[in-house]
Structure 1
């Protein structure tokens, strides 16, 4: 496994690349868990760069870097991991873990007792490994297509 990525706060200039990372991750990493129609609907729903920029500005947003280039990001808001995407070229290489680890530490430092996430079926194993517990199954409707995810929660150590 390679060295962990460096992390830094989101900067507005990051938006175009983070937008591309989000779309690439959906298109390339979710094929084993979601069918073509589901992935197309998800990409369509995620194709609003301005909406992503708003989420990045509103939440606690961190960018993961490898060799100075952005390779992933996380948005944490109101106790919920709202966005977590990793570029396919570095998938399963510790980038997601580094981002979630940082969120958990920051949440604990802010006095939060738990962190929650609506984990895609693709991301669920990452959160399972990190001690998150499934709370309920969710279905998200995009036009006439349904996608599933799982609300998960991790109680932070005091």
Structure 2
């Protein structure tokens, strides 16, 4: 039998998390996206966390959740406004251990409970299959400038609400 995945805890972002979340952001970009983006693109992208004060203000100004494993931060997600997933990053050591899933599950449930009918994300090429498996639909391809580099991503959207089995139409046998 396979080994059980560690339990993922969730908590709100605290200003003291800024340095470790910036490090998770950089490690995730540098190590997990190398099949989809060049070294120069990854360096430009990772540069978004160089100014930790600015990065911390960005996280504090959004709904940001931190995923923990055995009490240590393993990933984070932030939502800008009511319906835009701005950041979702998992430390490479914790990939495929349910961290991103736990973060997305929580944000989707919180958003739906607040009356939000859908979420959107500008997904990296690396994360696009993850979001697609969760029911996000590709809307358009984008090219964004980061420093001196151009990166591609995809705007994806998901309708929130009851995505379970549809009820039978009235008068039809089940």
Same fold (TM over 0.5): yes
Q: When the two structures are superposed, what TM-score results if normalisation uses the length of structure 1?
A: 0.95
Give every structure 1 segment of 4 or more consecutive aligned residues whose post-TM-superposition deviation is greater than 4 Å. Answer: none
Q: How many pairs align?
A: 158
Please name the residue that 2:97 is paired with: 93
1:92 to partner: Cα distance: 1.8
Equivalent-residue separation in structure 2 for 1:139 and 1:46 (angstroms): 20
Contact 1:108 1:156 in 2 (8 A): yes
Q: Mark the runs of 5 or more structure 1 residues left unpaired by the alignment.
A: none
SS at match of 2:96: coil
- Which of 55, 58, 64 aligns to 2:58? It is 55
Equivalent-residue separation in structure 2 for 1:64 and 1:18 (angstroms): 10
SS at match of 2:150: strand
- Which of 22, 25, 32 aligns to 2:35? It is 32
Q: Mark the runs of 5 or more structure 2 residues left unpaired by the alignment.
A: 163-174
1:143 to partner: Cα distance: 3.3
The structure with more radius of gyration = 2
Q: When the two structures are superposed, what TM-score results if normalisation uses the length of structure 2?
A: 0.87
Which string of whole-angstrom CA distances, capped at 9 and with x for unpartnered residues, describes residues 40-59 of structure 1?
A: 11122332212211111111
Please name the residue that 1:137 is paired with: 141
